[in-house]
């Protein structure tokens, strides 16, 4: 059984301390770390790496941003991943997402958040660099999740097509929502679980045109809203 950490970054020759700490964390925990620099597309990078590694069914993949920090002991992280991924119908596992993706296709929609539709938690930093916890809701099944941290088994990875769909224009946007939606098409359930992860980004890229264009393309190609209809006890993670 292999554990893989696949991380895209702008330039592998100038990694900051956060990225180095993350790589060392995974490496010390027995993960095979694959950091990809200079890729023209996150879709292409993930797709090429999964094909290259040709995983066994019980292998574990973590796809994550290079600007996160994980406070959990790495053995605990692996234990929790194995517990949730062991459900036969699990697609992706992450730390924050929603049970209701509305017609606007924005998972962190404030109205849905206030209505208790979101799940998971992530740590952030305020303007003074002090950490604080953003709690979206309980852990459990979601329809889609944030791509800062997404894990799946080798079996799921082999079932998926990680390449960019023709209807997307942007090379770096909406991949997480798209992957989760495709996993649901395969009859799999996406879940979030409680992990102590800090994200050192507040989603600055949401403002760029390619994000909006990919969002519009997603809306045009999927039936929305997507909703967790009924959750069984196992889905509570």
**In the predicted model, is pLDDT for residue 229 greater than 90?**
no
**In the predicted model, is pLDDT for residue 101 greater than 50?**
yes
Domain interval for residue 50: 3-236
**In the predicted model, is pLDDT for residue 233 greater than 50?**
no
Which tens digit of pLDDT belongs to each residue from 68-88?
999 999 999 999 999 999 887
With a pLDDT cut of 70, the percent of the chain lying above it is 95
Q: How far is CA 125 from the centre of its chain?
A: 20
Which CATH number characterizes residue 128's domain? 3.90.550.10
Provide the pLDDT for residue 234: 45
Provide the pLDDT for residue 200: 87
Q: Please give the structure tokens belonging to residue 9.
A: 């970054």
Closest by Cα among 232, 209, 221, 196 to 105:
221
β-bridge mates for residue 119, sequence order: 97
Which tens digit of pLDDT belongs to each residue from 24-78?
999 999 999 999 998 999 999 999 999 999 999 999 999 999 999 999 999 999 9
Average pLDDT over residues 92-105: 98
Q: How confident is the model at residue 202 (pLDDT cuts 50, 70, 90)?
A: low
Q: Where are the beta strands (DSSP E) in the chain?
A: 3-9, 32-37, 60-64, 68-70, 90-94, 96-98, 100-101, 118-125, 131-137, 140-142, 144-145, 149-153, 189-192, 197-199, 226-227
Average pLDDT over residues 179-195: 97
- Give the chain's domain count: 1
């Amino acid at each position: 059984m292999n554990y893989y950490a696949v991380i895209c970054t702008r330039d592998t020759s100038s990694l900051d301390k956060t990225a180095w700490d993350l790589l060392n964390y995974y490496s010390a925990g027995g993960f095979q770390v694959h950091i990809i620099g200079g890729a023209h597309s996150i879709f292409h990078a993930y797709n090429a790496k999964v094909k290259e590694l040709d995983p066994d069914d019980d292998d574990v993949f973590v796809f994550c941003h290079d600007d996160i920090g994980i406070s959990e002991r790495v053995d605990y992280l692996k234990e929790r991943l194995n517990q949730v991924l062991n459900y036969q119908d699990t697609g992706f596992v992450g730390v924050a997402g929603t049970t209701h993706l509305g017609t606007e296709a924005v998972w962190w929609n404030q109205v849905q958040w206030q209505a208790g539709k979101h799940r998971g938690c992530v740590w952030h930093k305020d303007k003074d660099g002090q950490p604080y916890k953003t709690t979206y809701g309980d852990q459990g099944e979601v329809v889609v999740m944030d791509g800062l941290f997404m894990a799946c088994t080798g079996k799921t990875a082999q079932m998926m097509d990680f390449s960019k769909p023709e209807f997307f224009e942007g090379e770096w946007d909406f991949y997480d929502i798209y992957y989760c939606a495709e996993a649901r098409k395969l009859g799999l359930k996406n879940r979030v679980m409680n992990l102590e992860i800090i994200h050192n980004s507040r989603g600055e890229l949401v403002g760029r045109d390619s994000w909006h264009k990919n969002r519009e393309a997603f809306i045009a190609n999927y039936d929305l809203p997507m909703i967790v209809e009924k959750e069984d006890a196992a889905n509570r993670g």
